[in-house]
Amino acid sequence: MQPTDVSDPRYFHKVVDCQWACPAHTNIPEYIRLIAQGRFTESYMLNRKSNVFPGILGRTCDRPCEPACRRGRVDGKPVAICRLKRVAADYRDDVTPYLPTAPTQKNGKRVALIGAGPASLTVANDLVPLGYHVTIFEKLDRPGGLMRTNIPSFRLPAKVLDEECGYIINMGVDIRYSTPVASLKKLLDDGGFDAVFVGSGAPRGKNLDVPGRYDSDKIFIGIDWLESIHFGHTTKVEPTVLIIGVGNTAMDCCRSAKRLGATSVKVIGRKPRKYFKASPWELEDAEEEKVDILEDLSPVRFVYEDGKLSGMEFERFKSVEKDGKLRQEKIDNIILPADVVVLAIGQENAFPWIERDIGLEFKDNMPVVDKATFMSTRPGVFFGGDAAWGPENIIWAVEHGHQAAISIHNHCQGVAVTDRPKQGQNLSSTKMGLHEWSYSNDYSGAARAKMEHVDLTKRLTSLTMEVELGFSIEQTKAEVERCLNCDIQTGFVTKACIECDACIDVCPMDCLTITKNGEEPELRTRLLAPAKNQKQELFLSFDLKQTGRVMVKDEDVCLHCGLCAERCPTHAWDMVKFELFHPHAGEKQSCSK
């Protein structure tokens, strides 16, 4: 194996599992440490720099960081990264003095953003401070996109949304509400914009065309139904409700139904539970509210009695998994009663307002968009968020926005969109004294904090009462200490090592081995603890001075406790803080090693 090149920021970045998994590469361990120090405002601002909507995301993020979190491999439960983000938002002071502002001197370039969802808002957030004149065209009379109209207020209070959308819009975005763009051609021809960003989302809910679909007005499309609840057009629902689909939309539909007066709510999945799209915690939240979640049922037809919708017929399956493949055998057909059926089986893109003859190529009804630059085949027209490649989530929409903003900036400044600022890193020792570090290196055995919820009967009386209470200060104090500080890296200087074995003996997780070099697959089997998690890297030193062997570290379950560095007599090991520089529009490489 070759010695590890730690001058490439990707090596240490990958060690910070959460940050690596976060689409926006939020500096999670640093924001958790700031919370630990009670510096909530700074923690909020650090979050905001990457993910723009800490208050919103601290409640709603799909949290790809948590399944990746190293702590999960150490004691089974990841750090409650997402809800700690909410802690930073909940306990922050007034952040307005620290928010970006628009310069008085504009740069003369005009950019149009279509839709006021998280993707467009992020583009505005990045471009307005650089002097751009940014115009947002929004179909509805309020900002936020699906975060506003589809995510129910009992998960995401309107106040939080208003505040965080406001931080961007109030910089001086020229936002035109109730102004749908009906023709992209016209906007491009007559608008006088230097660049256009399409952040219009994936606005169409999928239909289920089975017999009886059009014979009742009690059959709804999930995202439309949620929108009509948001706008107050739907204020109550009949007692028995079936939700078809087991994604996140279905979870919001069933929980909304409960609040609109339904007494029996069933969510229907075609496959067994482990294949459901909804996050485990959303399924749990729904079940806590006495929603039944049924599996192995496939819709056949709507059932009517005296011309009135009375239920739905399903094929019932038995599922067996063989060689990792799911097989479903039909058992029989059953009918479940229903007064109302909501179809929540997914979303599609629709671009009826984009002409197909304007040099903007489509393939399978989707625009052709470059994965790195977010530019369509028509120079100057960019896509991001759900509009680019179909429905994703908020944090992806945000990162798309950041990347598209870089491209738009380049495009407007006459730089190739492919000429992008590079990632960099900053490394600094955390050593404060003989065995003192500038971070809390002692391992805490605390169990993951449990989010408290509003009492069940109370919460079901209101569509807007937020269910989650947030973490208390006591919970926060315990939870922050669970973070392993994975950004505090074990830096190794080969020439200082005297091969005394001290680090190896002290390491609680058997991460370290001094051995003969070899090919990686074989080397992985020869370590003190076999390195079976192939997704985690091995660090390899240069040849050691005294014996020519190498120091190998399996990054997999390192606690970043610093004991190796404390035990090292020659400071060959040091605990080194890694900061990723992940550039946004207008930012130059600010630091190297």
Binding residues for ligand SF4 (CB under 6 A): 16-18, 28-29, 69-71, 78-79, 81, 483-486, 490, 506-509, 511-512, 558-564
CB of 293 to ligand FAD, least distance (A): 17
Identified binder of ligand FAD from the candidate list 23, 145, 269, 299, rule CB under 6 A? 145
Taking the least distance from each CB to ligand SF4, the nearer of 184 and 564 is 564
**Binding residue (CB under 6 A) for ligand FAD from 9, 299, 346, 385:** 385
Residues in 74-103 that interact with ligand FAD by CB under 6 A: none
Distance from C-alpha of 455 to C-alpha of 465, rounded to nearest angstrom: 11
Which residue's CB is nearer to ligand SF4, number 144 or number 562?
Answer: 562
By DSSP bridging, strand 195-198 and strand 174-176 are unpaired
CA distance 165 to 138: 13
Taking CB under 6 A as the rule, does residue 147 contact ligand FAD? yes
Is 81 buried (19+), middle (13-18) or exposed (0-12) by CB count in 10 A?
Answer: buried
Residue 23's binding partner among another protein, ligand SF4, ligand FAD, none (Cβ under 5 to 8 angstroms by kind) is none
| Contact flag: residue 108 with ligand FAD (CB under 6 A) | no
Binding residue for ligand FAD, selected from 20, 31, 53, 137, defined by CB under 6 A: 137
List 198's β-bridge partners, or say none: 114, 383
Q: Distance between CA 477 and CA 465 in Å, rounded?
A: 26
What CA–CA distances, in Å, run from 196 to 166, 189, 375, 458? 22, 11, 10, 46
Which are the contacts of 304, defined by CB distance < 8 A and separation ≥ 6? 212, 215, 216, 310
Q: Which of ligand SF4, another protein, ligand FAD, none binds 195 (CB below 5-8 Å, type-dependent)? A: none
For the record, the structure tokens of 98 come out as 């620290």
Nearer to another protein, 33 or 266 (CB): 33
**540 strand-pairing partners:** 552
How far, in Å, CA of 187 to CA of 113, rounded?
A: 11
User: Alpha carbon of 178 to those of 136, 138, 142, 366: distances in Å?
Assistant: 11, 6, 8, 25
Sheet holding 573-581, edge to edge: 424-429, 573-581, 488-492
**For residue 453, what are the CA distances in angstroms to 269, 462, 465?**
26, 14, 11
Taking the complex as a whole, the smallest distance from the CB of residue 494 to ligand FAD amounts, in Å, to 44
The secondary structure of residue 511, as a DSSP letter, is: -
Measured from the CB of residue 563, what is the shortest distance to ligand SF4 in angstroms? 4
Decide: 540 and 4 in contact? Cβ < 8 Å: yes
* Angle between helix 28-36 and helix 81-90 axes, rounded to 10 deg: 50
Taking the complex as a whole, how short is the minimal distance between the CB of residue 503 and ligand SF4, in angstroms?
6
Residue 70 interacts with which of ligand FAD, ligand SF4, another protein, none, CB < 5 to 8 Å by class? ligand SF4
Smallest CA-to-CA distance from 490 within 533, 434, 437 is with: 437
Q: Which is nearer to another protein, 381 or 561 (CB)?
A: 561
Closest CB to ligand FAD among residues 463, 478 = 463
Give the nearest distance from C-beta 143 to ligand FAD in angstroms: 7
Residue 199 binds which of ligand FAD, ligand SF4, another protein, none (CB < 5-8 A, kind-dependent)? ligand FAD
Instruction: Specify the residue, 142 or 477, whose C-beta has the smaller distance to ligand FAD.
Output: 142
Instruction: For strands 219-221 and 340-343, give the pairing.
Output: parallel
Q: Which partner in ligand SF4, another protein, ligand FAD, none is near 353 (CB below 5 to 8 A by kind)? A: ligand FAD
Interacting stretch for ligand FAD, rule CB under 6 A, among 32-40, 285-293, 298-306, 393-401?
393-401
- Restricting to residues 309-338, name those near ligand FAD by CB under 6 A: none
Binding flag, residue 160, ligand FAD (CB under 6 A): no
Give min distance, CB of 21 to another protein, in A. Answer: 20
354 vs 114, 181, 182, 306, 375, CA distance in Å? 12, 9, 8, 44, 15
Q: Which residues bind another protein (CB under 8 A)?
A: 73-75, 434-436, 441-443, 445, 498-502, 504-506, 508-511, 529-530, 532, 546-547, 557, 559, 561, 563, 566-570
Residues that bind ligand FAD (CB under 6 A): 60-62, 114-120, 137-140, 145-147, 150-151, 180-181, 199-201, 203, 223, 226, 248-249, 252, 353, 385-387, 391-395, 397
